[in-house]
Amino acid sequence: MHRFLFLPILLLAGCATAPVAVHRQAQADAPFTFNGRVAVKQGEQRDSAGMRWVHRSDEDEILLLAPLGQTVARIHRGAGEVTLDASGKHHAAQDMEDLMQQVLGWQLPLSGLRYWVTAVPAPDGEFDIERDANGQMKVLRQQGWEISYSRYAAMTADALPLRLKLQRDGVQVLLLIDEWEAQ
């Protein structure tokens, strides 16, 4: 009978998830992993998907997911090439943005977004920042995009954002981050 007392504890231990991150790392191109949702509006076109992004300085893997979690598209950047697998077809290019626009019809600034998603300006190009009373980035303008940050994981200046809205030339992108995973 006593041996069954530990069974619930063992079952709960098996349900453990990856540690959750709340604060960004100090370096500009720090690795990150998040799970969330993205919605894109371009004119009359509206699309949305689940999103999992694993970023390292030399490679990215972005999964776009259907509502039940099936992978709809996989974008991989590494070794000077970008690939996108969707609908059973394999596509390759040099540029993530062009490839995503050609195959999915989405205009997402992925090369800048890998910085912006952690509330850091991209190192290439000028930028303008507005901060709130906590020192958190409220608005970032860079590369023709306006990125608004409306929710963070904590109330500190180095907290990771949970809600971003990007706007440029009639394109609106809403990114909701459900979970940051510690690196």
> For residues 33 and 152, what is the distance between their CA atoms, to the nearest angstrom?
16
pLDDT at 13 over 80: no
Q: Please tell me the predicted confidence (pLDDT) of residue 84.
A: 95
Q: pLDDT-derived band of residue 60, with 50, 70 and 90 as boundaries? A: very high
Given a cut of 50, whether residue 41 has pLDDT beyond it is yes
pLDDT reported for residue 12: 42
Least confident of 6-10, 13-17, 38-42, 138-142: 6-10
Two tokens, residue 86: 């969707």
Termini Cα distance of the chain? 41
Query: Is beta strand 45-56 parallel, antiparallel or unpaired with respect to 59-65?
Result: antiparallel
At 104-143, the pLDDT tens digits run 888 889 889 999 999 999 998 899 999 999 999 999 999 9
Residue 18's pLDDT band (cuts 50, 70, 90): low
- Taking the domains of the chain in order of start, what are their residue ranges? 19-181
Other C-beta atoms lying within 10 Å of the C-beta of residue 45: 10
Q: What is the 3-state secondary structure (H, E, C) of 122-175?
A: CCCCCEEEEECCCCCEEEEEECCEEEEEEEECCCCCCECEEEEEEEECCEEEEE
For 19-181, CATH gives 2.50.20.10
The pTM score is 0.84
Cβ atoms 53, 42 nearer than 8 A: no
Mean pLDDT to the nearest integer, 11-33: 66
pLDDT at residue 130, as a whole number: 98
